Amino acid sequence: MDGSTMSRGLLRVLTCGSVDDGKSTLIGRLLYDSQMIMEDTLAAITRDSRKHGTVGEEVDLALLVDGLEAERQQGITIDVAYRFFTTPRRSFIVADCPGHEQYTRNMATGASNSELAIILVDARKGLLTQTRRHSYICSLLGIRHVVLAVNKIDLVNFDQQVFDRIVGEYATFAAGFGFHTMVPIPVSGRFGDNVSTRSGNTPWYRGETLLEHLESVSVEEELTQIPFRFPVQWVNRPNQDFRGFSGTVASGAVAVGENIVVAASGVSSHVTRILGPAGDQERASAGESITICLADEVDVARGDVLAPIADRPAVADQFAAHLLWMDEEAMLPGRQYMMRVGNVWTSASVTSIKHRVDVATLDHQSATRLSLNEIGLCNLSTAQRVAMDPYAQNRLTGAFILVDRFTNRTAGCGMINFALRRATNVHHEHFLVDKAARATALRQKPMLLWFTGLSGSGKSTVAKLVEQALHRAGRHTYSLDGDNLRHGLNRDLGFTDQDRVENIRRVGEVAKLMVDAGLIVLASFISPFRAERQMVREMLGEREFLEVFVDTPIEICMQRDVKGLYAKAKRGEIANFTGVTSPYEPPEAADLVLDGSGPAADALAQQVLDMIERRMADG
């Protein structure tokens, strides 16, 4: 290869549009014109064109990239397919997101990894709602370079006025999106006009062809100009003589001899060595995977972020972010998720949704949850303090994903707006008399017994017997009951999923205070979701939380129907009734499972008492 080859390196491109806009044909055209299509492949699609094609005797270039139709029919969700092509001047990875239903989610995935977006508009139809949606998501995900490809220009007789009108409208509408370049090009994917060769049909267009623009556009963000960030991925310690921190430089640059600080701990040192893929190097900048050695034996682990002393990231456990929800199970505020930011995994929850964004109109709406493909501005809280930058300043240290704790699905992705100061100013107050002192005075080990099960399973009955026995034995106890709390502390809550989550969160907090006071607390709540029971377990800690699953088949609960609730639910008089119209997720690893279908209540209570005794004896 000669010197000019690949001088511009790699460009990652996202294509936005639906099949109707001719997206597949345009991508197929790019691949075809850049001679990336091999003879055997071309022979196959020529054959297929006769069979399935939509363009008569011509070769249907869309078939080069489609091939996904069969899978869509099988119900397979495809989020992003990647295509590769190379010209003598540059190489390209095209992220192609097919399908309509999962569009927001898919586009976000493609956009997160792209530097430039081609937004397709059908010249006959002009700007559509989806054009706005695509542009907004590109903007939100931080894409700064856009090509407005006004496609099917042949079908409007290569009319300049049509083109100018669309471009004018788009420029007005996209003014606030922060695009650094916005290049409109009249193209025909089917016939190739202005794709790789200048079209004789559009003499009024004097700009670059699509391919010329892709080859020449400079997207080298100021990634190397913004402050140095190095999320540590792996501690390399093969022997006593070597200790290095491996990772990829997220932004900025670093050189041997420079001072750095570990963001979370504030401990500083200086760089003594940088090992790159080819051995020692003097400096390294954004995108390089390297290993850094420091002068001092500082405490650094995976997840830590190294930064310049004078220009550190925020370190916080509360922050505001745009959250895009990707899971079929809706996001509920208060529910705990696993969050990955940089190389840190920590648990996190949304504390409030400030508003939801209507992706089509960009209007703000109030919301109590985020469903699949919805976007909201939220406040989040994490279990651990993490280093972060605003996404607008740094795409790599300002992004995070949320993962469902039970299914491990990637449930949401977020772009951090700013760290909340609040978190840094509210500290825990420490008192002279603490839990241990109170527990000693009461001569018992405080704990929370959490009874979960369907309505009518016998939770409260067993809990009452247990409390009675404990009280007789001189223990200090308190019972928290769902119905009672809903008359007071939780009277503002209903039975929707998000209210159930908040209900359990409050009960957890109250129980925690009571355990702190030294009591043995018995809580009887249907608490249908694993996630919330897990949340309470984590609030209290493993040693003080005992989950008792009263496992009674729903048929028996219905037969008993002490409160007549099942009958009402079946008549449709109660919405969201657990086991009937709302799910119950049984515990996977309860500390005790009681068979609620057979033994008498006092026998079940004895099993609980035995477990408490064992726990008390545990030291």
Partner 1 sequence: MQPVQTHSLSPHLRRLEAEGIAIIRETAASFRNPVLLYSIGKDSSVVLHLAMKAFAPGRIPFPLLHIATGWDFRDMLEFRDRRAAELGARLIVHTNPDGLARGIGPLTHGSQVHMDVMGTQALKQALDIGGYDAALGGARRDEEKARAKERVFSHRAPGHVWEPRGQRPELWGLYNTRIAPGETMRVFPISNWTEFDVWDYIAAEQIPVVPLYFAAERPVLRRGGALIMRDDDRMPLNEGEQIENMWVRFRTMGDWPLTGAHESRAQTMEEVLEELRLSRVSERHGRLIDNDQEASMERKKREGYF
Residues at the site binding partner 1, with contacts judged by CB under 8 A? 1, 5-10, 38-41, 67-68, 70-71, 75-84, 86, 91, 93, 105-106, 108-109, 112-113, 233-234, 236-239, 242, 246-248, 275, 277-279, 287-289, 291, 302, 326, 338, 340-341, 343, 345, 395-396, 399-401, 403, 408-410, 413
DSSP per-residue string spanning 316-368? EEEEEEEEEE-SSSPB-TT--EEEEETTEEEEEEEEEEEEEE-TTT--EE--S
CA angle, residues 35, 8, 281, in degrees to nearest 5? 130
By beta-carbon proximity to partner 1, the closer residue of 39 and 492 is 39
Q: Smallest distance from the beta carbon of 405 to partner 1, in angstroms? A: 9
The one-letter amino acid code at 517 reads A
Instruction: State in angstroms the smallest separation of the CB of 144 from partner 1.
Output: 16
Distance CA(285)–CA(229), nearest Å, equals 10
| Tokens representing residue 340 in the block | 């990955």
CA 502 to chain centre: 21
| Displacement of CA 311 from its chain's centroid (Å) | 27
C-alpha–C-alpha distance, residues 295 and 591, integer Å:
48
Phi and psi dihedrals of 154, rounded to 5? -65, -30
Nearer to partner 1, 401 or 556 (CB): 401
Catalytic residue (choose from 34, 139, 524, 527): 527
Q: How far apart are CA 521 and CA 36, in angstroms?
A: 69
Q: How many CB atoms lie within 10 A of CB 515?
A: 23
| Adjacent-strand bridge partners of 349 | 381
Please, what is the minimum distance in Å from the beta carbon of residue 315 to partner 1?
19
- Any idea how long the chain is? 619
Nearer to partner 1, 113 or 352 (CB): 113
Closer residue to partner 1 (CB): 304 or 502: 304
Which one, 220 or 363, has the nearer CB to partner 1?
220
Q: Cβ of residue 191: shortest distance to partner 1, in angstroms?
A: 23
DSSP states along 431-450? -SS-HHHHHHHHTS--EEEE
What DSSP string runs through 452-502? Answer: E--TTSSHHHHHHHHHHHHHHTT--EEEEEHHHHHHTTTTT--SSHHHHHH
Contacts of 353 (CB under 8 A, 6+ apart): 333, 366, 367, 368, 369, 370, 376, 377, 378
CA dihedral sign, ordered 255, 256, 258, 264: positive
* Cβ distance to partner 1 smaller for residue 288 or 585: 288
Nearest residue (CB) to partner 1, 270 versus 409 = 409
Minimum CB–partner distance for residue 417 and partner 1 (Å): 17
Closest distance to partner 1 from the beta carbon of 223 (Å): 12
Q: Which is nearer to partner 1, 176 or 287 (CB)?
A: 287
What is the spatial distance between Cα 559 and Cα 564, in angstroms, rounded to a whole number? 10
d(CA 449, CA 608): 9
Neighbours of 431 (CB within 10 A): 8
In the complex, the smallest distance separating the C-beta of residue 375 from partner 1, rounded to whole angstroms, is 14
Tokens of 499: 């209210």
Cβ-based neighbour number of residue 488 at 10 Å = 7
Nearest approach, Cβ of residue 224 and partner 1 (Å) = 13
* Residue number, 99 or 126, with CB nearest to partner 1: 99
Beta pairing, strands 242-248 & 337-341: unpaired
Identify whether 527 is a catalytic site residue: yes
The three-point CA angle 375-381-385 to 5° equals 125
- Using CB atoms within 10 Å of the CB of residue 76, give its burial: 0 to 12 exposed, 13 to 18 middle, 19+ buried: exposed
- Minimum CB separation of residue 560 from partner 1 in Å reads 35
Burial class of residue 140 in the structure, from the number of CB atoms within 10 Å of its CB (0-12 exposed, 13-18 middle, 19+ buried): buried
Query: What is the smallest separation between the CB atom of 574 and partner 1, expressed in angstroms?
Result: 32
Shorter beta-carbon distance to partner 1: residue 29 or 152: 29
Q: Which residues are catalytic?
A: 527
